[in-house]
Amino acid sequence: MRVAVMTAPGQVHVEDRPEPRIVEPTDAIIRLAATCICGSDLWPYRGVEPVDEPRPMGHEYAGIVEEVGPAVTTVRPDQFVVGSFFASDNTCEICRSGYQSSCVRREAAAPGGAQAERMRVPLADGTLIATPDLPADDLVPSLLAASDVLGTGWFAAVAAAAGPGRTVAVVGDGAVGLLGVLAAQQLGAERIIAMSRHKSRQKLAIEFGATDIVTERGDAGVAAVKDLTDGLGAHSVIEAVGTQESMMQAIHATRPGGRVGYVGVTHNVALPGMELFFSHVHLHGGPAPVRRFLPDLIDRIWTRRIDPGKVFDLELPLDQAPEGYRAMDRRDAIKVLLRP
């Protein structure tokens, strides 16, 4: 089968690899209806994370179950399923508390890559959710988005306690940040400030529910958020980038007692203790426990209350994955959907 493989920073190609097989009795094999390129795939692409050996890429997936191991009970062949990028048993104490992405049995959900024709998903019962029926074609991008980028934006909004009466600021106008806007809107936030300097992304942020746009970054961006919030800062700030500058921008844009939900993978970040101490913010984030939110997210998509699939502004055949990486790296595309 065909799978996208990264061999070095900037080097992705699509090659033939053996078909995945059931390894553990809790595994499932899925034929992918759609997959995509994640902002986090750009870290190794840009050389920020090492690429020590050829790496099959991708961890976002939606598709049809082809086969399940003998211990799998909640999904069966021919069902359409969506899953999280971390496999979880969904039964341990950590999972039951809603942190499935720190499950005591956590492992990668796509050990052989998800930018592929087929994939093996471990711990299928604790990881996958079947849709009510086979989805209409136009729902597939949104269901795929639930696998990571929507679930991650949603977790950030929940971690930041976005909700009624609250002003939410969003640092980062990638797909996660934009879906953080959507999540904040769905959670009932009163005001949503999207921080973006790109017209097409501003437009999508407004479609998703942003009420204000701030184009400045860093200290100027913080000042602009304070100007919009009586000098106090936002109640809730979603951080969806993961750099030192973006983390400090998020912390400084939050009012004392407010909440930062951070989901950008924090590469080369060191948070200064005294600034954090006197900021008085709540800080919570990490790898999104997408599984916690999946049943609700699938329902919102299925009933067409949300259309997160709009973040895919470029669709390519899987074999053109290298072009997809280039488009996202250059920020020509917000997010690239790949059709196996």
- Single out the residue of 44, 136, 100, 49 nearest to residue 294, CA to CA: 100
DSSP 54-91: -EE----EEEEEEEE-TT--S--TT-EEEE-SEE--S-
| Minimum gap (Å) between residue 131 Cβ and a copy of itself | 27
Please give the helix or strand (H or E) that residue 33 lies within, else none. Answer: strand 28-36
* Closer residue to a copy of itself, CB minimum distance, 71 or 104: 104
Amino acid at 207: E
* Closer residue to a copy of itself, CB minimum distance, 85 or 99: 99
Strands 2-8 and 55-56: antiparallel
| Minimum gap (Å) between residue 313 Cβ and a copy of itself | 28
* Closer residue to a copy of itself, CB minimum distance, 154 or 262: 262
Q: Show the tokens assigned to 330.
A: 């250059």
Cβ-contact 128, 75 below 8 angstroms = yes
| Minimum gap (Å) between residue 280 Cβ and a copy of itself | 4
**Three-class secondary structure of residue 278 per DSSP:** helix
Cβ-contact 279, 253 below 8 angstroms = no
CA separation for the pair 128, 157 (Å, rounded) = 23
How far is CA 226 from each of CA 249, 250, 252, 268, rounded to the nearest angstrom? 12, 12, 9, 27
| Minimum gap (Å) between residue 143 Cβ and a copy of itself | 26
Residues that bind a copy of itself (CB under 8 A): 93-94, 97-99, 101-102, 104, 230-232, 242, 244, 247, 255-257, 262, 265-274, 276-287
What are the φ and ψ backbone dihedral angles of 123, each rounded to 5 degrees?
Answer: 45, 50
| Minimum gap (Å) between residue 96 Cβ and a copy of itself | 10
* Closer residue to a copy of itself, CB minimum distance, 55 or 284: 284
* Closer residue to a copy of itself, CB minimum distance, 74 or 244: 244
* Closer residue to a copy of itself, CB minimum distance, 28 or 159: 159
| Minimum gap (Å) between residue 235 Cβ and a copy of itself | 9
| Minimum gap (Å) between residue 241 Cβ and a copy of itself | 11
CA separation for the pair 191, 178 (Å, rounded) = 15
* Closer residue to a copy of itself, CB minimum distance, 247 or 337: 247
In DSSP terms, 314 is beta-bridged to: 336
